C-alpha cells in the first residue's frame, strides 16, 4: 500500500475509487430500504427509485471530487497516522548512510567512465557512465507497475469490455431493424397508429417485422422502434393489442434512455455486485410497470398472463440484445405472472409529482453524501504522513523551491534515487530558469535512463549554455536510444567542442547508424578510433589530494585550487569518501573549465548516496 500511495495521482484515483464505492453502496442501500418500504406502491414508483439511485452513481465521482468536503476522520486512520508519526513508516524508507573516513587504498574502478580530452591534450578525464545498482538506495526503479496501476488497468479493461458489448448489441439491433420490413400488414400498422394516438405518444414510432427475433423487442430514444416476430401474422387481434401496449409503454416511460444509463453505470461499477443487483431489480420493476400500464388501461389480468406465457414459450433461445427490451424472458416469467394475477395491487403509472419527489430525494441524498469525505481525507492525511518519509516525493517537491541550489540538489538526488517517478518532474526542470538546474536535471535523466527523456534532451542540445548542451549529449549516451543518433551528429556539425562527448555517446548507443556516424566523426577529426571500454580513469587514488583525504573542508576547498590536477584529485577523493555534504561543491565543479575536472565531478556525484535530509548550506 505504501508504494501505491507514493504517487500522488494514483493516490487520488485510489482515494476517489474507494470513496465512491462506499458512497455508492450507501446510496443503493438507501434505495433498497426505500423500495422495501414502498412495496405496496406501484412498480413504476419502485422503478423510479432504482433509476434515480443508479443515476446518482453516475455523477458521484464528479460530485465527490468537486464539492467542498465535510471532513470525516475514522478512528482507524488516526491510529495508523499516529503509528507512522512515531516512525514506523519512516524506518521503512530510511536507509543507513554513514560518513566514511576515507583511509582506503586505491581500487580498480568498477564502471566504465569515458575520458574526454580538450584540444590536443592527451590527458584522460572521466565522463558519465551508467551508475551501478546500489542496494542502499531506498527508491530504486520499480520492477513493474504498482498494485494500484494494475487494479486501475483491470477496471479499465472491464469497463471497455462492457461498453464494447453494449456497442456491439446496439449495432446488432440496428442491423435487425435495417433488414426488417415495415409493419407486416395493414392491420398491424393501423392498430399501432391508433394506440400511439390513444396513449399520447408524441415521438414517431416505427413498427417493423423481422424473422431474426422470436419475441417482441423495443429500442430507441428519440426514434423508437418496435420489432415484432414473423409469428405476428398468426396472432389474434387481442394478442397484437396486448403486445403493442406493452412495447409502447416502454416508449411512453422513456425506458430506453434509462436502459442506456443503467448499462453505463454497470460498466463503470462492474466490480460492485450491489450495482448488478440494483440493475436487475430495476429491470424487473420496469417490466412490471409496463405490464401494469396495459392492465391499467383495461386488459384483463388472466388474458394478459396467458398471452405473456405463450410468447415466452415461443422463445427457444434467450439471445435478446442488451440494447433492446424483450417482452418476455423465461427467467423472470413466473414472478411477473404472479404479479399480473395478484389482486389489489397499485398499478397506476408514475405521476409527475412522484417523479419529482424521487428526483428531489435523490438530490437530498447525493449532494450531502458526495460532500462527506468518507475515505479521501483520511487517506490523504495518511498519504501526507507517508510522503514525509518518501525521499523521491521529497525531492520532487524541492524542484519547486525558490533557491536554485535546492532545486539543483533535488535534481541530483532524483538522479541517484533512479526512480521513474522523477522523470516527468526532471523533464520539466529542463526548462528551469537557472542553467545549473538544467545541467543537473539532464545528468539525472541520464542516470535514470528512461526513454521518455530522449526527445526533451534532444531539444536541450540547442540550449544557450554550452555546458548544458554537453551534458545533454552525455545523458543521451547514457540512455542509449537510437533516436538520438541524428540529433547528435547534427550537434557535432554545429559545435566542434562537442566532438568527444558526441563520439562517446554514439559509442554507447552502439547501433549500425551510431557506429557509422562515430566512424565519420573520427575520420573528420583525423585521429584513430577508440572504444568506450578502452577509455577510463584506470586506478583511482591520485596523489595530489591524498593528504587531504580525511579532511572534508580541505577537499572542498581544493575544488577551487588553481591547479586543475588538484581540482580533479579533490573531486575523486570526495567521491571515494561518499559524504553527502560534498554534493553542493561537486555540483559547482560541473562548471569547471577543465573537462577532466567536470568528468571527475560527475563520477564523484554518482558515488554519493542521497539521504532523506533537507538541503542545507
| 278 and 167 co-located in one domain | yes
pLDDT of residue 6: 42
pLDDT (mean) for 344-355 = 81
The stretch 99-109 carries a mean pLDDT of 41
Per residue in 362-398, pLDDT tens? 888 877 777 666 555 444 544 554 445 578 888 888 8
Indicate if 339 and 399 belong to the same structural domain: no
pLDDT at 377: 47
Residue 305 pLDDT class (50, 70, 90 cuts):
confident
Q: Which residues contact 326 (CB under 8 A, 6 or more apart)?
A: 215, 216, 217, 315, 318, 320
Higher pLDDT, 539 or 552: 552
DSSP 225: E
Q: Average the pLDDT over 190-200 and give the result.
A: 87
* Structural domain count of the chain: 2
Torsion, Cα of 257, 259, 263, 266 (10° steps): 120
**Lowest model confidence (mean pLDDT) among 112-121, 153-162, 262-271, 489-498:** 112-121
Is pLDDT at 137 greater than 70 in this prediction? no
**Burial category of 598 from C-beta neighbours within 10 Å (exposed 0-12, middle 13-18, buried 19 and up):** buried
Q: What angle, rounded to 10 degrees, do the helices at 8-37 and 352-371 form? A: 140
Q: Which domain holds residue 433?
A: 390-534
Residues 464 and 398 grouped into a single domain:
yes
Asked if residue 411 and residue 331 are part of one domain, the reply reads: no
Q: Give residue 113's Cα distance to chain centre.
A: 38
Over residues 430-485, the pLDDT tens digits come to 999 999 999 999 999 999 999 999 999 999 999 999 999 999 999 999 999 999 99
CATH code for the domain in which residue 415 is found: 1.25.10.10
Domain end, chosen from 484, 519, 534, is at: 534
In a domain, 497, yes or no: yes
One domain for residues 322 and 471: no
Name the residue among 237, 250, 236, 234 with its Cα closest to residue 196.
Answer: 250
Tell me how crowded residue 469 is: count the other CB atoms within 10 A of its CB.
Answer: 21
Q: Are residues 339 and 433 in the same domain?
A: no
Burial of 219 (0-12, 13-18, 19+ CB in 10 A): buried
Residue 594 lies inside a defined structural domain of this protein:
no
- Which stretches of 329-434 are DSSP H helices? 333-341, 352-371, 376-387, 391-398, 404-417, 423-429
- The percent of residues in the chain predicted with pLDDT above 70, rounded, is 75
Cα 557–Cα 563–Cα 564 angle in degrees, nearest 5? 90
- Domain-ending residue, one of 478, 500, 534: 534
Q: Is residue 433 part of a domain?
A: yes
Query: How many Å apart are CA 558 and CA 544, to the nearest integer?
Result: 10
**Do the Cβ atoms of 290 and 253 come closer than 8 Å?**
yes
For the chain, the average pLDDT equals 77
> How high is the pLDDT of residue 317?
57
Q: What average pLDDT score do residues 280-297 get? A: 89
Q: Is residue 165 part of a domain?
A: yes
Q: Count Cα neighbours of 427 within 13 Å in the Cβ-side half-sphere.
A: 17
Question: Is there a single domain that holds both residue 330 and residue 417?
Answer: no
Same domain, 209 and 298: yes
pLDDT score of 490 more than 90: yes
Supply the pLDDT for residue 319: 65
Q: Same domain, yes or no, for 336 and 394? A: no
Same structural domain, 161 and 308: yes
Shared domain check, 404 and 334: no
pLDDT 10s digits, 245-288: 898 999 999 999 999 999 999 999 998 899 999 999 999 999 88
132 in a domain, yes or no? no
pTM recorded for the entire structure: 0.52
Q: How far is CA 443 from the centre of its chain?
A: 28
Amino acid at each position: 500500500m505504501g508504494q501505491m500511495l507514493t504517487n500522488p495521482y494514483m493516490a487520488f484515483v485510489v482515494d476517489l475509487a474507494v470513496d465512491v464505492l462506499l458512497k455508492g453502496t450507501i446510496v443503493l442501500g438507501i434505495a433498497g430500504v426505500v423500495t422495501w418500504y414502498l412495496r405496496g406502491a406501484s412498480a413504476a414508483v419502485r422503478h423510479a427509485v432504482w433509476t434515480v439511485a443508479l443515476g446518482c452513481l453516475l455523477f458521484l465521482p464528479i460530485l465527490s471530487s468537486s464539492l467542498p468536503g465535510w471532513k470525516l476522520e475514522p478512528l482507524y486512520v488516526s491510529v495508523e497516522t499516529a503509528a507512522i508519526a512515531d516512525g514506523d513508516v519512516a524506518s521503512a524508507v530510511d536507509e543507513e548512510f554513514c560518513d566514511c573516513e576515507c583511509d582506503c587504498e586505491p581500487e580498480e574502478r568498477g564502471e566504465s567512465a569515458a575520458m574526454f580530452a580538450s584540444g590536443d591534450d592527451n590527458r584522460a578525464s572521466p565522463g558519465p557512465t551508467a551508475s551501478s545498482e546500489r542496494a542502499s538506495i531506498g527508491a530504486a526503479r520499480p520492477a513493474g507497475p504498482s498494485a494500484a496501476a494494475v487494479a486501475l488497468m483491470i477496471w479499465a479493461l472491464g469497463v471497455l469490455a462492457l461498453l464494447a458489448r453494449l456497442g456491439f448489441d446496439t449495432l446488432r439491433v440496428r442491423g435487425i431493424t435495417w433488414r426488417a420490413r415495415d409493419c407486416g400488414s395493414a392491420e398491424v400498422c393501423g392498430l399501432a397508429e391508433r394506440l400511439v394516438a390513444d396513449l399520447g405518444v408524441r415521438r414517431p414510432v416505427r413498427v417493423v417485422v423481422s424473422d431474426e427475433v422470436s419475441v417482441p423487442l423495443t429500442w430507441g430514444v428519440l426514434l423508437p422502434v418496435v420489432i415484432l416476430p414473423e409469428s405476428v401474422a398468426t396472432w389474434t387481434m387481442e394478442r397484437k393489442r396486448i403486445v403493442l401496449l406493452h412495447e409502447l409503454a416502454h416508449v411512453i416511460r422513456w425506458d430506453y434512455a434509462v436502459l442506456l444509463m443503467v448499462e453505463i453505470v454497470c460498466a463503470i461499477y462492474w466490480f460492485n455486485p450491489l450495482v448488478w443487483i440494483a440493475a436487475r431489480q430495476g429491470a424487473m420493476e420496469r417490466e412490471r410497470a409496463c405490464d401494469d400500464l396495459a392492465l391499467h388501461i383495461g386488459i384483463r389480468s388472466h388474458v394478459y398472463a396467458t398471452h405473456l406465457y405463450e410468447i415466452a414459450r415461443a422463445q427457444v433461445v434467450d439471445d435478446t440484445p442488451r440494447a433492446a427490451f424483450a417482452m418476455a424472458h423465461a427467467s423472470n416469467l413466473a414472478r411477473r405472472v404472479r404479479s399480473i394475477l395478484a389482486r389489489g395491487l397499485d398499478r397506476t403509472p408514475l405521476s409527475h409529482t412522484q417523479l419529482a419527489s424521487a428526483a428531489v430525494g435523490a438530490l437530498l441524498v447525493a449532494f450531502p453524501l458526495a460532500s462527506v469525505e468518507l475515505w479521501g481525507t483520511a487517506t490523504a492525511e495518511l498519504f501526507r504522513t507517508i510522503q514525509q518519509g518518501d525521499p523521491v516525493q521529497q525531492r520532487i517537491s524541492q524542484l519547486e523551491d525558490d533557491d536554485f541550489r535546492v532545486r539543483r540538489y533535488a535534481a541530483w538526488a532524483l538522479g541517484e534515487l533512479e526512480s521513474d517517478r522523477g522523470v516527468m518532474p526532471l523533464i520539466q526542470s529542463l526548462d528551469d530558469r537557472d542553467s545549473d538546474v538544467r545541467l543537473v536535471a539532464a545528468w539525472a535523466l541520464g542516470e535514470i535512463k528512461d526513454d521518455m527523456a530522449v526527445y526533451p534532451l534532444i531539444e536541450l542540445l540547442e540550449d544557450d549554455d554550452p555546458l548544458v548542451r554537453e551534458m545533454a549529449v552525455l545523458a543521451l549516451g547514457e540512455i542509449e536510444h537510437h533516436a538520438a543518433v541524428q540529433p547528435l551528429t547534427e550537434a557535432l556539425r554545429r559545435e566542434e567542442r562537442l566532438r568527444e562527448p558526441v563520439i562517446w555517446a554514439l559509442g554507447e548507443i552502439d547501433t549500425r547508424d551510431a557506429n557509422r556516424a562515430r566512424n565519420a566523426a573520427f575520420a573528420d577529426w583525423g585521429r584513430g578510433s577508440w572504444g568506450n571500454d578502452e577509455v577510463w580513469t584506470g586506478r583511482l587514488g591520485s596523489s595530489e589530494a591524498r593528504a587531504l583525504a580525511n579532511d572534508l573542508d580541505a577537499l572542498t576547498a581544493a575544488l577551487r585550487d588553481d591547479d586543475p590536477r588538484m581540482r580533479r584529485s579533490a573531486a575523486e577523493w570526495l567521491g571515494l569518501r561518499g559524504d553527502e555534504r560534498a554534493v553542493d561543491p561537486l555540483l559547482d565543479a560541473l562548471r569547471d573549465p577543465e573537462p577532466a575536472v567536470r568528468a571527475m565531478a560527475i563520477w564523484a556525484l554518482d558515488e554519493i548516496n542521497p539521504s532523506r535530509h533537507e538541503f542545507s548550506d
